[in-house]
Amino acid sequence: MKKIVGSFLLVLGIADASNIALNQPLAGVVVQDKGELILDGDSIQYRVWDSKNLLGKVRIVQHIAGRKSVKAKNQPLMDSIVAQHFDENKYQTTNIINVDDALMGTGLFVRGETKKAKRKHPKSQVVMDNEGAVQKAWDLKKQESLVVVLDKAGKVRFVHEGKLNNGQIQEVLDLAKKLQQE
């Protein structure tokens, strides 16, 4: 029995490896190498991104290792968000792509896909993190996906590392709707 309890506690510790806590703001982090993608006509510019600017709107933040398999884990959530047509005055999606956690030799491909995503969803905030600054600051697992829901004050109301199940996807969407009404 002790072995089972010990194993269970070990799994719990691994599952909650980040330093993100409910009802607290995210740890401050600045992405200087690339940063936020800004559409300028048909070209894309970059500007320094600071997590302190995640205030004022309800947000679903997704941090994604720069790997196709990781992006696919929570693609159903992203598709569901697009289908919701949330009010852009009250809501914004923030996608942070950790290019530092891409497979060897795929960085250029990841950067190209990130630019395509920004063009396809111009209202979303897209951040390209070449040095893994966010992953380090938030103590996230490598080769993984993180989903966080923030209220207008920038406090964490939902956090999950890994693939969301259908119930969790619905929970995220319902929470984002509710927070926009507050």
Q: Is pLDDT of 68 > 90?
A: no
Mean pLDDT of 73-99: 94
Q: Is pLDDT of 13 > 50?
A: no
- Segments making up each domain of the chain, as ranges: 2-181
Mean pLDDT of 151-175: 97
pLDDT band at 181 (very low <50, low <70, confident <90, very high): very high
Q: What global pTM score does this model have?
A: 0.85
Q: Which strands form 156-161's sheet, in the order they lie side by side? A: 43-50, 30-40, 125-129, 91-98, 58-65, 145-150, 156-161
Percent of the chain exceeding pLDDT 70 equals: 86
Helices (H) and strands (E) counted in the chain, each on its own, are 6, 7
By the 10 Å C-beta count (0-12 exposed, 13-18 middle, 19+ buried), 9 is classed as exposed
Q: Is pLDDT of 16 > 80?
A: no
Beta strands in the chain (DSSP E): 30-40, 43-50, 58-65, 91-98, 125-129, 145-150, 156-161
User: Coil, helix or strand for 44?
Assistant: strand
Q: How far is CA 70 from CA 30, 122, 142, in A?
A: 23, 22, 10
2-181: CATH topology is Glutaredoxin (3.40.30)
**Residue whose tokens read 């005055």:** 89
**Six token digits for residue 130:** 């070449």
Return all residues near 153 (Cβ < 8 A) that are at least 6 apart: 25, 55
pLDDT digits (tens, 9 = 90+) for 139-158: 999 989 999 999 999 999 99
